[in-house]
Chains A and B, each alone.
Chain A
Amino acid sequence: MKHGFYPKLAMTGISKNRKTYIPYILTCIGMVMMYYIVSFLSVNDSVRDLRGGNEMQMILQMGCGVIGFFSLVFLFYTNSFLMRRRKKEFGLYNILGMGKWNLARILFFECLIIAVIALAAGLFCGIMFSKIAELVMIHILQGEVNFSFSIDFSVIVQTVSVFCLIFLLIFLNALRQIRLANPVELLRSETVGEKPPRVNWVFALLGLIILAGAYYLAVSIKDPMSALIWFFVAVIMVIIATYLLFIAGSVALCRILQKNKRYYYKTNHFVSVSSMVYRMKRNGAGLASICILSTMVLVMLSSTVCLYLGTEDSMRNRYPRNIVIDTFSVEDQSVETVHQAISDTLQQYHVSEKDLLHYRYLDVGGYFQEDQVIFDQNSLSGWELADTENIRQLFVVPLEDYNRLMGKEETLAENEVMIYNTKGSEYLYDTITLQGGGTWNVKKVIPDFVDNGTDAMQIISTLYLFVPDLEAMEQIFDAQAEIYGDNRSYKHDYYGFDLSCDDETQLLLTGTLRESIQQLGEDEAFPKVTVEGVAEERTGFYALYGGLFFLGVLLGIVFILGAVLIMYYKQITEGYEDQKRFEILQKVGMTKKEIKKSVNSQVLTVFFLPLIAAGVHVGFAFPLIHKLLALFSLTNTWLLIGITVGSYLLFALFYVVVYLITSKSYYGIVSRKES
């Protein structure tokens, strides 16, 4: 056969189907571009040299894998859609005398052409945009900007090989579809009458129950630790329930409506409801996927944006003061020495401390069993220990320090304590009995106390116990020390303050302070002292949260690309299927206006159902997300609400734009045959 015959046929094939192929090729280009950018940043030298760059690159490498995997799944799905649409064309070729081998060659060239276009354009765009992405990244990490431009050939090779593999798999899948069909089937594949969908009541009901369960789980969980564990369970339940409800539940709902004769036999409902059954049967899975993708985008965007914007907040939670010195003792002499070292250092730098936060406390972990706190883990079963909600931290603080910090004048009798709970936990009993540490009457539960970094850092919640005096604290210390032995906790002298100088000076100051305190520690008997400076931690925080933010936005874009493409194809398929129906309705005497109205209401329902469902999902996920973010020391609820609502609105806006664009091509198809 003549040279260049197959490539030519392949080219015509693509250009004849450009309505469906152009979005596909654009998506391929987008995926290649994203993959290149992310993997470029994950090995880029100027990013690695930044402070926090290493952590960032680890997060990015993970994202790279996610994008690769998603591209595979997604392009696979779209391509099988394209193949379905073209079965008729291939059937015709087959009847005109082309064997499967010839068809395979056409398909091969089509795949090759698309792969070449996608890789060339995708890499080109990727290289163009990689510099911008790099600058954004450097900005996030608060580093120095340099304007050199670099291309990484190893990344290009990696991108090309990953996508060649993906295209190869797609090609093999297309071959499989061609091989399976015989020509008559190929020709007729689109005109076979469809059976009316049967309602699967079991699945519909199961979907409802699972969804209700997942929602209940999401709303009822109290502490962040269980939130972390149950989050994934809830996510999986929601995914299953969404698929079940979209596939079976929607059909069931339509059937119920059809049973109601009064509702069903109305001009406005008659055509819409009966076509919706078929629409949902065909599109249920696709719509559920869109819904889940949208939910993922929303959760990811709102939580990562919130983390990033709330970085300063969470740093303040984790490090309540610019510099915190924690001495593992309350002995006057050691504490005095440490305090002296601090004031010497401050003087040396000509700065003074502000917002002093100084108190003594004892921290000890325990298992809360009703009004008992048990220190001895051996007396507990593994099952009980797995119940994370009951394992809490106990901070014992003398009343004297509480009054001084809060400016109060509370008094406590000998056996009385006051209680403060963190992280939304509760204590509901009138007395509290510490194992070996006596029973105390709870005088009252107070609404707030100063932040403590140790509490913010931990997943479990803390119960502050304000005891009458230092002696009471010693008593509890002795009780736990006896049980825990070598694992005993320490009494602490917590000394934190803010500084008005900039980060650079703070960095130096923290260094000097640490050195001078280390010298004190050369004496064996001297207690352990830790020095934490927020200036040192800031870049680390930004690297982690900024990295997550950056990745969240990138993955958000990729997922949105996916959702848009699914929506577009959905509309196109529907358009071809509705064309015939549109004609018949018109012949039977429906006005164009009526038809348009009915079609419009169906299309709107199909289109916006996922968005609404995603909104509900996110709404119920909110309490869980809120608790999970608490693990990252982020507790600003209003920030989270604002950002979640904001991203939903932004997403909805984007969705509407996509709807307007795709519905235009839908009406184009539907009304082409209008007579």
Chain B
Amino acid sequence: MPLLEVSNLKKIYTTRFGGNQVQALRNVNFSVEKGEYVAIMGESGSGKTTLLNILAALDKPTGGTVLLDGRDLSKIKESDVATFRRDNLGFVFQDFNLLDTFSLQDNIFLPLVLEGKAFKEMRQRLLPIASQLGISDLLSKYPYEVSGGQKQRAAVARALITDPRLILADEPTGALDSKSTDELLRLFSEINQDGQTILMVTHSVKAASHAQRVLFIKDGEVFHQIYRGNSTNEQLYQKISDTLTILATGGDRQ
């Protein structure tokens, strides 16, 4: 059984005064196996963010189902959604979403504190993750004191510390310089090799070229997908570029 199964997903937004309807997702089908590293690509307005919001249970679909570990997200009670999200999903955002009132350590602890874990246990969980991500020396610093790459690594640590089934990353390299981007992508691959399932939404070819599989979304539908197979990152990069060119120059599915 796949870890995540998305079938016939639809999302229609109605503008505020009930006038125009915008179909953000038309009919999305795909699944993610445990331990996979999947990138979803698409241009602005293709429905990526809507999809991610639905996967994160932040938004409800108009039709279709999302199963995580066989559990239907839309059937989870409103009051349990936050707990579900906390226990099963880890988030990495483009703009980090660290609280500037907390030190990095406290930011990382946040989900555990919400679960009511003891300080000692939190500390034990943190140490290996922090050393893997190379932020052990920065833990007592505040977000405003560290670089963007360091903030993003702290955010990754926060996502990992609950040991989630799935990590959802929304343009994680969007706000980083090229050096930090390389560093973060290397870390993602490393984490994935340790067995962590990752679903990343991006429009950076470079970021996508690190994944094992790349899905392309256009106009609210999965348009195409590429498996890495035995390709190197560079070869996958080339394939993705080609696909994007076809997408951009109007190659319809024929």
| Chain A residues, Cβ within 8 Å of B59 | 675
| A257 → chain B closest CB, angstroms | 13
Chain A positions 235-276 with a Cβ under 8 Å from a chain B Cβ: 261-262, 265-267, 270-271, 274-275
Interface residues of B in 71-126 (CB under 8 A from A): 79, 81-83, 85-86, 91, 93, 97-103, 106, 109-111, 113-114, 116, 118-119, 122
Which residues on the B side are within 8 Å of A586 (C-beta)?
82
Pairwise interchain contact B113-A587, C-beta atoms closer than 8 A:
no
Is B101 a contact of A193 with CB atoms below 8 Å? no
Structural contact, A590 and B82, CB atoms closer than 8 A: yes
A265-B122 in contact (CB<8A):
yes
By secondary structure, the A interface counts as: helix
Beyond A193-B143, A267-B114, A589-B111, is A278–B83 a contact (Cβ under 8 Å)? no
Contact A587 B58 (CB under 8 A): yes
A-side interface residues, number (CB < 8 Å): 29
Is B158's CB within 8 Å of the partner chain A? yes
A587-614 interface with B by 8 A CB criterion: 587-594
Q: Which residue of A lies closest to B115 (CB)?
A: A267
B231 interface residue, CB < 8 Å from A? no
Contact A196-B111, Cβ < 8 Å, known A584-B97, A589-B85 = no
Q: Is B30 an interface residue (CB 8 A)?
A: no
Residue-wise interface mask of B (118-162) relative to A, using a CB-CB cutoff of 8 A (1 in contact, 0 not)? 110010000000000000000000111000000000000010000
Contact assessment for B113 and A266 in the assembled complex, using a CB-CB cutoff below 8 Å: yes
What separation, in Å, do the CA atoms of A655 and B97 have in the docked complex? 36
Given A278-B101, A589-B86, CB of A675 within 8 Å of CB of B113: no
Contacts of B235 in A (CB 8 A): none
Given A196-B142, A274-B106, A587-B58, A594-B100 contact (CB < 8 Å)? no
Docked Cα-Cα span, A193 to B158, in Å, equals 20
Bound complex: CA A545 to CA B58 (Å): 65
Closest chain B residue, CB of each to CB of A269: B113
Pair B119/A196 contact, Cβ less than 8 Å = no
Cβ B102 vs Cβ A591 within 8 A: no
Q: Which of B79, B85, B93, B113 contacts A270 (CB 8 A)?
A: B113
Q: How far is the CB of B105 from chain A (nearest CB, A)?
A: 11
Task: Looking at the assembled complex, report how far the CB atom of B157 sits from the nearest CB atom of chain A, in whole angstroms.
Answer: 13
Contact at B79–A588, with CB atoms within 8 Å?
no
Q: Does chain B have a CB within 8 A of A404?
A: no
Contacts of B101 in A (CB 8 A): 196, 274-275, 277-278, 581
Known: A266-B113, A586-B82, A675-B58. A193 touches B100 (CB 8 A): yes
Which residues of A sit under 8 angstroms from B93, Cβ to Cβ? Answer: 587
Q: How large is the interface on B (under 10, 10 to 19, 20 to 34, 35 or more residues)?
A: 20 to 34
B179 to chain A, nearest CB (A): 22
- Contact A267:B111 (CB < 8 A) given known A194-B144, A274-B106: no
| A262–B144 CA distance with the chains assembled, in angstroms | 26
A675 to B81, CA, bound (A): 13
* Alpha-carbon distance between A413 and B83 when the two chains are bound, in angstroms: 90
Q: Is B53 an interface residue (CB 8 A)?
A: yes
Given A193-B100, A277-B101: A588 in contact with B119 (beta carbons within 8 A): no
Q: How far is the CB of A116 from chain B (nearest CB, A)?
A: 36
Contact among A265, A592, A593 with B119 in the assembled complex (CB-CB below 8 Å):
A265
Write out the residue numbers on chain A whose beta carbons fall within 8 Å of the beta carbon of B102. Answer: 274
Smallest distance from the beta carbon of A590 to chain B beta carbons, Å?
6
How distant is A141 from chain B, measured CB to nearest CB, in Å?
Answer: 57
Residues of B with C-beta under 8 A to A194: 100, 144
B111 partner, pick from A588, A591, A675, beta carbons under 8 A? A588
Per-residue contact bits, chain A 191-210, to B (CB 8 Å; 1 contact, 0 not): 00111100000000000000
Check A591–B58 contact: CB distance below 8 A: no
Bound CA span A271–B109, Å = 11
Write the nearest CB–CB distance from B109 to chain A, whole angstroms: 7
CA distance A586 to B93 in the complex (A): 13
A584:B99 contact, CB within 8 angstroms: yes
Separation of A590 and B116 alpha carbons in the complex (Å)? 12
Q: Return chain B residues, CB-CB under 8 Å to A278.
A: 101
Residues of chain A within 8 A of B158, CB atoms compared: 588
Are A589 and B119 interface neighbours, CB within 8 A?
no
Selected contact of B110 from candidates A261, A262, A270, A675, CB within 8 Å = A270
Max chain B CB contacts within 10 Å: which of A195, A590, A594?
A: A590
B73 to A: closest C-beta gap in Å: 15
B118: chain A residues within 8 A (beta carbon):
265
- Cβ contact within 8 Å between A592 and B106: no
Would A589 and B106 count as touching, CB distance under 8 A?
Answer: no
Contact B83 A588 (CB under 8 A): no
Report whether A587 and B97 are in contact in the complex, using a CB–CB cutoff of 8 Å: yes
B119, A675: Cβ atoms under 8 Å? no
CB nearest neighbor in B for A196: B142
Tell whether A261 pairs with B119 under 8 Å between CB atoms, given A194-B144, A267-B113, A675-B58: yes
Interface string of A84-121 (1 = CB under 8 A from B): 00000000000000000000000000000000000000
With CB as the reference atom, state the residue of chain A lying closest to B159.
A588
Cα of A675 to Cα of B91 in the assembled complex, Å? 16
Q: How near does chain B come to A594, taking the closest CB pair, in angstroms? A: 7
CB-CB under 8 A from A585, the residues of chain B are 99
Can you name the residue of chain B whose Cβ is closest to the Cβ of A592?
A: B82
In the complex the two chains form, what is the Cα distance from A594 to B101 in whole Å? Answer: 18
Residues of the B chain whose Cβ atoms lie less than 8 Å from the Cβ of A261: 119
**What is the CA–CA distance of A591 and B111 in the complex, to the nearest angstrom?**
11
Task: Please give me the residue from chain A that is nearest to B53 by CB atom.
Answer: A675
Bound form: Cα–Cα A591–B58 in Å? 12
Q: In the complex the two chains form, is A591's CB within 8 Å of B83's CB?
A: yes
CA distance A104 to B251 in the complex (A): 55
- Supply 19 A–B pairs (Cβ within 8 Å), ascending by A: A193-B143, A194-B100, A195-B144, A261-B119, A262-B119, A267-B113, A267-B116, A270-B106, A271-B110, A274-B102, A275-B101, A581-B99, A584-B98, A586-B82, A588-B86, A589-B114, A590-B86, A591-B79, A594-B114
- The interface of chain B, by Cβ under 8 A from chain A, is 53, 56, 58-59, 79, 81-83, 85-86, 91, 93, 97-103, 106, 109-111, 113-114, 116, 118-119, 122, 142-144, 158
**What 7 A-B pairs are tightest by C-beta distance, nearest first?**
A589-B86, A193-B144, A591-B82, A584-B97, A270-B113, A261-B119, A265-B119
Extra contacts, 6 of them, besides A196-B142, A274-B99, A589-B83 (Cβ < 8 A), are A193-B100, A193-B143, A196-B101, A265-B118, A270-B114, A274-B102
